Amino acid sequence: MLTIHATDRHRYCDGLSRRSFLQAGILGATGLTLADGLRAQAAAQDRGSPTRETALILIWLDGGPTHMDTYDLKPSAPAEYRGPMKAIPTNVPGVAVCELMPRQARIMDRLTIVRSLHHTTGDHFAGAHWMLTGYFGSNVARLDPMYPSAGAITAKVRGANRPGMPAYVAVPVAASVGLVPGYHGGAYLGTAYNPFQTGGDPNTPNFSVRNLTLPGGLTLSQLEDRRRLLASFDSLRREIDASGTADTLDRFQQEAYELISGPAARQAFDIGREDPRVRDRYGRHIWGQSCLLARRLVEAGVTFVTVHMGGWDNHAAIEAALKNKLPIFDRALASLVEDLDARGLYERVAICVCGEFGRTPKVNGNAGRDHWGEAGFAVVGGGGLRTGGVVGATTDKGEYPKDCPVRPEDLWATLYAVLGIDTRQTFVDKTGRPHPVLNGGQPIPGLL
């Protein structure tokens, strides 16, 4: 059994107290290793990546959220199936959601519920890997990521929408079932395509992004001295390298330096610049402020942002757990949709909410629900997707899809289409074997 509490402040990532600034991946002994990611972005541009600045915010409900008590309630089912929550109508006729999500109910015309999302595993690790990559692969017996996440693919193919910003960011951490970055990472694409993690809690008054804050008293002037040292190395390289490689390396190191020391990224990550009234609307909680930070990042030019919300593995006392979590989640998601819409961003920024699987339709003896891959949900919107309805349906007791079954690869085929990514292109793993972005899957009918 895995239990992750929504209020858990455990730091998944190694902090600077245990790893040096150089080891954290900001500076290398001979260069700015962040340049690797910038080099990849440029390669994507050279391949002719899309010109439309679409972006995606993935809200990852780590642990496996219940479909039966959130977006697929069954008020006519027997009591042991329908559970403790009541359904309320939304502003879309015939569509109901949990009573604890009134704000989403008022904006359901700007969202679509996918009620027939499913796969065939109740293994946390296998489910998370499948949902985040579109591939069945890793599992509890083989934890290492087998395939790159959709965020890593996006970083490789699309790069950032604007210079000076990372392509792929996780707020506050990239965690899947306790693994960091786990199945959010680059796998065989390499660590250059792992997400840039903010760390910390965006709700704290002194929040700052660890990787954009120089640690241990290091000053920008000292960083500049290191850059001058690198320039001297590059001068020597140029004397023996007539191919132009050194000039290219110089450019990527310059861009990496600008990301660390320049204003664009620092301003985007500085949530303290937001109007306090906007911050209040999202909710003064790590989840609400993480969603607000995600909006700031896509607005500034980040292409893919993952917001981690843990604590959904509710094998017991699910009513109390949902009464704690759902109002916070409801406020954060509804505010994000409204804010993106009000700022003219919703047409180009898609949202997807999902976890690794649903929960058992029948309530167990501990008043909770167990793992259930055969039925779950996703909530999508924005990015030009059609909204204001429901895709698919489950059986009367919420056990299996009965209409328009959707697999994880179908969900990602839809979202990759929004991002302008050709899922037929291939990348080579460490053994030299080519893999397509998706091995199967079709865009969900009616959403594009």
As for how many domains the chain has, the answer is 1
Task: Tell me the average pLDDT across 231-252.
Answer: 49
CATH assignment of the domain containing 226: 3.40.720
If you ran DSSP here, which 8-state letter would residue 14 be given? P
Average pLDDT, the chain: 85
Q: Which domain holds residue 367?
A: 34-436
Residue 209: predicted pLDDT: 85
Task: Tell me the average pLDDT across 385-411.
Answer: 98
Q: Is residue 1 part of a domain?
A: no
Higher pLDDT among residues 209 and 428, named by residue:
428
Residue 150: name the closest of 172, 125, 167 by CA.
167
Torsion of CA 5, 174, 421, 268, to 10 degrees: 100
Residue 264: predicted pLDDT: 84
Residue 192: predicted pLDDT: 87
The string of pLDDT tens digits covering residues 182-195 is 999 999 999 989 99
CA distances from 223 to 190, 229, 231, 265 (A): 26, 10, 12, 17
H or E stretch including 297?
A: helix 286-300
| The pair of three-digit structure tokens given for residue 8, joined into one six-digit string | 């858990």
Biggest CA–CA distance in the chain, Å, is: 79
Residue 220: predicted pLDDT: 54
The string of pLDDT tens digits covering residues 126-169 is 999 999 999 999 999 999 999 999 999 999 999 999 988 999 99
CA separation for the pair 415, 350 (Å, rounded): 8
CB count, 10 Å around CB of 8?
12
CA distances from 222 to 50, 100, 214, 387, 429 (A): 38, 52, 10, 51, 38
CA separation for the pair 116, 302 (Å, rounded): 30
Whether residue 323 is predicted with pLDDT greater than 70 in this model: the reply is yes
Higher pLDDT among residues 7 and 385, named by residue:
385
CA separation for the pair 47, 216 (Å, rounded): 40
Local confidence band at 240 (pLDDT 50, 70, 90 cut-offs): very low
Q: Is residue 131 part of a domain?
A: yes
Q: Is residue 448 part of a domain?
A: no
Q: Is residue 219 part of a domain?
A: yes
The string of pLDDT tens digits covering residues 102-112 is 999 999 999 99
Residue 263: predicted pLDDT: 80
C-beta of residue 353 within 8 angstroms of C-beta of residue 61: yes
Residue 411: name the closest of 355, 360, 372 by CA.
355
Residue 164: predicted pLDDT: 86
Higher pLDDT among residues 231 and 292, named by residue:
292
Q: Parallel, antiparallel, or unpaired: how do β-strands 304-310 and 168-171 relate?
A: parallel
Length of the chain: 448
Q: Is residue 288 part of a domain?
A: yes
Beta-bridged to residue 112, according to DSSP, are 380, 389
CA separation for the pair 364, 342 (Å, rounded): 43
Find the radius of gyration of the CA atoms of the chain: 22
C-beta of residue 401 within 8 angstroms of C-beta of residue 392: yes
Residue 22: name the closest of 207, 152, 209, 211 by CA.
211
Half-sphere exposure of 32 (CA within 13 A, CB side): 27
- At residue 391, φ and ψ (nearest 5 deg) are -105, 125
Residue 157: name the closest of 46, 10, 297, 320 by CA.
46
Percent of the chain with pLDDT strictly greater than 90: 74
- CB-count burial class (<10 Å; 0-12, 13-18, 19+) for 357: buried
Q: Is residue 299 part of a domain?
A: yes
Highest mean pLDDT among 38-42, 66-70, 228-232: 66-70
The string of pLDDT tens digits covering residues 69-81 is 999 999 999 999 9
In the sheet where 55-62 sits, what is the strand order? 196-197, 168-171, 304-310, 55-62, 349-354, 378-382, 112-114, 389-391
Local confidence band at 351 (pLDDT 50, 70, 90 cut-offs): very high
Residue 338: name the closest of 171, 107, 105, 95 by CA.
107
